[in-house]
Structure 1
Amino acid sequence: MIPDKVVADAASAVVDVRPGSTVAVGGFGLAGIPWFLIEALLEQGADDLTVVSNNCGVDGGGLGLLLEQRRISRVIASYVGENKEFARQYLAGEVTVELTPQGTLAERLRAGGAGIGAFFTPTGVGTVVAEGGLPWRYRPDGSVALASPAKEVRTIAGRPMVLEESIVADVALVRAAVADRAGNCRFHRSARNFNPAVATSGRLTIVEAERLVEVGDLDPDDVHLPGVFVQRVVPLAPDQASRKEIEKRTIRERRA
């Protein structure tokens, strides 16, 4: 019998996320982020969270909402970027930030989902990524309170490579274009981004789906994320599914 993983709403899906959890979140900028699962987690109240995501949303949106409410104590990300409050908290020593090369972050998540404890990569060799000293947390006076440790470097096939540990999250939050009741998912173009790797890394993976279909409606070749990695599916209403905000909009006047 195929399990039905659909839950009533986002609030029901995140009700048991505990304070201190490690939460991996899909998306790149605002593309493909799980808007409603993030907002449900904000309402749920869990704090002291370690968040693993490419970036940390924007001011007033996405993971930026959790930052503004001081619900995040540690971030593992590749980009501070568009969020001024994120940058402020990092430089003021209010949040620990483990900056990680973007491809390495994706592979750490994928490896965690595949049961691989660590891997060697040439990315970061000869830099503070491998040699240590990257500021993870500042003091209010601007001095470094916590810096990254040095990592093992080994020569493999004639190339120096650095050892990176995989990431296994307590909870993974992702957004899919289509999901069936068994949790099989398809993503839409660039909105796929980090979502599959994030989903596989979670012990508990929750998907918000723009469209819910029955098992068998998705062609096997169209499945980007097998349902075996998913525990809960939240179907979105049409107005929710259409919510796709843009970080920056640049326009110009049309010439007559």
Structure 2
Amino acid sequence: MDKVVGSAAQAVAGIPDGAVLAVGGFGVCGIPSGLIAALVEAGTGGLRVVSNNCGLDDWGLGLLLRAGRIVRMTSSYVGENKEFARRYLSGELEVELTPQGTLAERLRAGGAGIPAFFTPAGVGTQVEEGGLPWRYAPDGSVAVASPPKEVRAFRGGRYLLEEAITADYALVRAAVADRHGNCVFHAAAANFNPLAAMAGRVTVVEAEQIVEPGQLDPDRVHLPGVFVDRVVAADPDDRRIERRTVRPAAEPPVPAEASASPAAKEN
């Protein structure tokens, strides 16, 4: 039952070229950066990745992308990554853009054994009609386009059929995990990490804190250990802020005594 391994390299051992990966995180929050770095070091390539976004140019999945290891992305957001845009527009990268809620539900459905579902998201757009550029040719024409989706009516509304997503491996980051793989996520990191974990046939977790079985309150567990195969310690300080904005420090308030006039003080 002890699923803890000694290093990130051990945790990603066996992931082959061409694997489908479900990777947790939201923006740069809850990114399994240690596992991604270990994959970069291992030289694994030809990867087809399902993740909300593709990290930054110099961090997270952006490191695999920059090294040319990712051939396809299924994502809902691709901002903040110039290398991603360059590879997509030059035809080096295939990209399936999916509405964010739909992407989350496709992962959850995959983990729950539901093959497909209907959703109103995308009705009346190119998501329904097809023709979205998945991959460009070197001359700028569309080499691969999205297919049209099946539409059905329910209770007077139109809905699109979306297929579930399963992955060969899932890479996720937890705030706390026990040795049996039960996981707790922090704040926004809970958005995609549990869903990615459910969708992976083999799920690898890097956790900022590893505790003994029984130390986690069962009511606090976000991801049961039945979904987890390997656990490795993460660097708790390996985090990023996607966009830092600051403002000048506010002037400290002037005490009432100091602001009173001399005459007022005498009275």
TM range (shorter): over 0.9
Measured after TM superposition, the shift of residue 46 of structure 1 is: 1.2
What aligned pairs does 1:214-229 form with structure 2 within 5 A after superposition? 214-229=212-227
Choose from 163, 183, 206 the match for 1:185.
183
Write the distance in 2 (CA, Å) between the matches of 1:193 and 1:31: 10
Write the distance in 2 (CA, Å) between the matches of 1:127 and 1:223: 38
Tell me the equivalent position of 1:150. Answer: 148
Write the distance in 2 (CA, Å) between the matches of 1:45 and 1:116: 33
Write the distance in 1 (CA, Å) between the matches of 2:68 and 2:233: 29
What aligned pairs does 1:71-86 form with structure 2 within 5 A after superposition? 71-86=69-84
What aligned pairs does 1:34-113 form with structure 2 within 5 A after superposition? 34-113=32-111
Measured after TM superposition, the shift of residue 139 of structure 1 is: 1.1
Tell me the equivalent position of 2:263. Answer: none
Write the distance in 2 (CA, Å) between the matches of 1:223 and 1:4: 17
Write the distance in 2 (CA, Å) between the matches of 1:252 and 1:141: 45
Write the distance in 1 (CA, Å) between the matches of 2:182 and 2:39: 23
Q: Does 1:165 align with 2:163?
A: yes
Tell me the equivalent position of 1:243. Answer: 238
TM-score, with structure 2 as normaliser: 0.93
Paired amino acid for 1:60? D
Q: Does 1:119 align with 2:117?
A: yes
Measured after TM superposition, the shift of residue 99 of structure 1 is: 0.3
List alignment gaps of at least 5 residues for structure 1: none
Counting matched residue pairs gives 251
Measured after TM superposition, the shift of residue 192 of structure 1 is: 1.3
Write the distance in 1 (CA, Å) between the matches of 2:3 and 2:141: 48
Write the distance in 2 (CA, Å) between the matches of 1:40 and 1:229: 22
Q: Which has the larger radius of gyration?
A: 2
- Describe the SS at the equivalent of 1:123: coil
Measured after TM superposition, the shift of residue 244 of structure 1 is: 1.4
- Describe the SS at the equivalent of 2:109: helix
Superposition CA RMSD, Å? 0.7
Write the distance in 1 (CA, Å) between the matches of 2:250 and 2:54: 38
Deviations 1:74-98 (A, max 9, x none): 0000011010000110011110000
List alignment gaps of at least 5 residues for structure 2: 252-267
- Describe the SS at the equivalent of 1:125: coil
Choose from 129, 133, 141 the match for 1:131.
129
Measured after TM superposition, the shift of residue 44 of structure 1 is: 1.1
Deviation >6 Å, runs of 4+: none
Choose from 30, 44, 47 the match for 2:28.
30
Measured after TM superposition, the shift of residue 177 of structure 1 is: 0.3
Write the distance in 1 (CA, Å) between the matches of 2:223 and 2:144: 37
Deviations 1:149-201 (A, max 9, x none): 00100001221100000000000000000000000000011121200100000
Tell me the equivalent position of 2:173. Answer: 175
TM-score, with structure 1 as normaliser: 0.97
Paired amino acid for 2:50? V
Write the distance in 1 (CA, Å) between the matches of 2:229 and 2:250: 52
Write the distance in 2 (CA, Å) between the matches of 1:190 and 1:14: 25
- Describe the SS at the equivalent of 1:216: coil
Tell me the equivalent position of 2:249. Answer: 254
Judge which range, 240-249 or 57-66, deviates more: 240-249
